[in-house]
């Protein structure tokens, strides 16, 4: 199969993958980079690339590390972000677990940036009120009124 010199050539100029790349390049990822000090073993995948992969996968509604790995083989935008590298699912899952706090902060900033760029609207907020069968004590469960009383204490 013949591919162009850059995967970017296969994508429309307004594709959201370019927003993802730009956002990650501008982000302060020093907390993540600072955690890598080892001089032995193989060098890690570029942290900015790993963050970009997670962000793009989340935008696409993909959370599973195995599905993200599959996207790295099948999805042109993911191949563009990864520079045609394919970290395995274990590496993706470990990176996410290791940097969970830094990623949560970064993703919150990304939502604000996307809103400023008018890519998303935060006008509506939906809450799922699904009731699930659970193994919870009826005596420890709180009503709304009791919860307010506890909150005031």
Please tell me the predicted confidence (pLDDT) of residue 135.
72
Please tell me the predicted confidence (pLDDT) of residue 77.
93
Taking each helix axis from N to C end, the angle separating 47-59 and 89-98, rounded to the nearest 10 degrees, works out to 100
Three-class SS of 70-115: HHHHHCHHHHHHHCCCCCCHHHHHHHHHHCHHHHHHHHHHHHHHHH
Tokens matching residue 95: 């990176």
Please tell me the predicted confidence (pLDDT) of residue 1.
59
Residue 91 pLDDT more than 90? yes
pTM of the model: 0.74
Domain boundaries, the chain: 7-123
Please tell me the predicted confidence (pLDDT) of residue 125.
66
Taking CA atoms, 83 is separated from 18, 33, 76, 98, 112, in Å, by 13, 19, 10, 23, 27
Q: 67-76, 89-98, 124-133: which has the minimum mean pLDDT?
A: 124-133
Residue 98 pLDDT more than 70? yes
Burial class (CB in 10 A: 0-12, 13-18, 19+), 127: exposed
The mean pLDDT of 118-126, rounded to a whole number, is: 75
The mean pLDDT of 110-135, rounded to a whole number, is: 78
- 89 against 136, higher pLDDT: 89
Q: Compute the distance between CA of residue 11 and CA of residue 145 in angstroms, rounded to an integer.
A: 54
Residue 84 pLDDT more than 70? yes
Q: Compute the distance between CA of residue 65 and CA of residue 68 in angstroms, rounded to an integer.
A: 5
pLDDT in tens, 32-73: 998 888 777 788 899 999 999 999 999 899 999 999 999 999
């Amino acid at each position: 199969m013949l591919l162009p010199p850059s995967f970017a050539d296969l994508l429309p100029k307004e594709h959201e993958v370019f927003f993802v790349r730009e956002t990650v390049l501008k982000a302060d990822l020093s907390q993540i980079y600072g955690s890598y000090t080892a001089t032995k073993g193989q060098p890690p995948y570029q942290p900015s690339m790993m963050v970009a992969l997670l962000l793009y996968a989340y935008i696409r509604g993909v959370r599973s590390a195995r599905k993200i790995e599959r996207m790295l083989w099948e999805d042109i935008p993911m191949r563009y972000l990864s520079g045609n590298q394919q970290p395995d699912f274990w590496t993706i899952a470990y990176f996410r677990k290791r940097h969970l706090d830094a990623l949560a902060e970064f993703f919150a900033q990304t939502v604000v940036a996307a809103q400023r760029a008018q890519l998303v609207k935060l006008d509506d907020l939906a809450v799922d009120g699904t009731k699930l069968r659970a193994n919870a004590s009826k005596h420890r469960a709180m009503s709304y009124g009791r919860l307010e009383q506890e909150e005031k204490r």
